[in-house]
Amino acid sequence: MGFFGQAIATFPDLRTAENTRYSIRDAALGAFSVFFNQSPSLIAHQRSMELSKGKSNAGTIFGVHQIPTDNHIRSLLDPAEESLLAPAFGKVFEQLHAEGKLTGLRCFDGSLLVALDGAWFHNSESVHCKQCNYREHREGRTTYYHSAITPVIVSLGSNRVVSLEPEFIWPQDGAAKQDCELLLEHRYNCILTCKYGSNSCLKKWIDEADAKLDSNEHFEKHWDGKRRRTRRYRFANGVPIRDDENALTVNWMELAILGEDGTPTARHVFVTNHELTRENVAAYVDAGRSRWKIENQHNNTLKTKGYNLEHNFGRGKEKLANLLLSMNLLAFPFHTMFELSEPRNRLIRKTLLRRDRFFHDVKALTQYFLFDSWNALMRFMLERLDLEDPGRIAVPVK
């Protein structure tokens, strides 16, 4: 299956000569097809179709030679490290970049903004393992959970996001360093949300600063679509984040949106390693504010638009929970790539308007009809929607 097929070719097979009816490849393709089609019952339906027709969409579209049972899929994939899927995330990014599809997501200085957020994908008060994090509640309960950092390319001016490879959070991952220190160690530029309540040293410096000389205060008028608002920008370079001689210094910026009486109705505060000037501070503030896109366009989509991020698809005994989450997250940028790079898919999505409507139709069609390929499925949908075929498929599904 293209990029995915190359990645799963590295999955380990720890079985002996016995009980090797199903291949690791078929197990991986079968699992990914569920996430790609957003259909938890896909495998069962395709197994029934194979029995009645001798073949199924799992084979013709996704390349599964023999459809394993759910239990076989879980047991065969359990030993596979989730990091083995990293090349597939990278290949999707490379193709989008090569085709110029990331241009609309670039920041004012040409860079790409990567927002980070944490996500729970398994939690229980009884089932847990040594890889679980945990949270103890006041009433004595303990919640065990798996979680990951999900990096996403975002842009304030676009409703589209691109998921990147997740980083899983282990119980021993805690660190005493500030986020900005960790990022700078790895040579990343950063724009981080800052809360005054959790950084007393920074807050003290700002309170004692001269508005004109130290914090470069200035005002701009802004039309928000309904009324003209006043924006107050303040910034300073080289502000300490801790009260000690060796404290790291950061560049601080603040946007306050003022009401008619001059009282702030909203406030946005960030620190960065980018040097700030009166000319660029508004652009860097906008870049920082684009972080909320990871909630609306990414997390909300994965939780409510068919990906079922919070559903427990199987924890396994070793790596299964992490691997299945990676497959689920990988389906999202695959869908983005298809929508941007494959003209038939793009036209159908545009016509149906809603993502869930598109996948609802795909699930129904593949449940009842056999198609020779994804290409054939797209042509069938175009014909039934009375749409002119815009051209051949650009990205292979298998």
At 174 the pLDDT is 52
Band (pLDDT 50/70/90 cuts) for residue 187 is confident
Q: Between 385 and 248, whose confidence is greater? A: 385
Name the average pLDDT for the chain: 88
Band (pLDDT 50/70/90 cuts) for residue 105 is very high
pTM: 0.86
Q: Is 146 helix (H, G, I), strand (E, B) or coil?
A: strand
pLDDT exceeds cutoff 90 at 369: yes
Band (pLDDT 50/70/90 cuts) for residue 120 is confident
pLDDT exceeds cutoff 90 at 384: yes
**pLDDT tens digit string along 336-349?**
998 888 999 999 99
| N-term to C-term CA, the chain | 3
Nearest residue to 153 (alpha-carbon basis) of 109, 195, 117, 192? 117
φ and ψ at residue 229, rounded to 5 degrees = -110, 160
Q: Between 323 and 171, whose confidence is greater? A: 323
Cα–Cα distance, 72 to 203 (Å, whole number): 56
Band (pLDDT 50/70/90 cuts) for residue 177 is low
At 248 the pLDDT is 81
Nearest residue to 313 (alpha-carbon basis) of 54, 26, 110, 40? 40
- For 249-272, what is the mean pLDDT? 91
Nearest residue to 289 (alpha-carbon basis) of 188, 225, 194? 194
At 324 the pLDDT is 93
pLDDT exceeds cutoff 60 at 396: no
At 28 the pLDDT is 96
Tokens of 218: 């200035």
Percentage of residues in the chain having pLDDT higher than 70: 95
At 146 the pLDDT is 84
At 309 the pLDDT is 82
Give the Å distances, CA to CA, from 160 to 293, 306, 348: 9, 17, 17
- The H or E element containing residue 107 is none
At 398 the pLDDT is 60
Band (pLDDT 50/70/90 cuts) for residue 169 is confident
pLDDT exceeds cutoff 90 at 88: yes
Band (pLDDT 50/70/90 cuts) for residue 392 is low
Cβ atoms 294, 332 nearer than 8 A: no
Band (pLDDT 50/70/90 cuts) for residue 186 is confident
Give the Å distances, CA to CA, from 211 to 195, 234, 332: 19, 8, 45
Percentage of residues in the chain having pLDDT higher than 90: 55
- The H or E element containing residue 212 is none
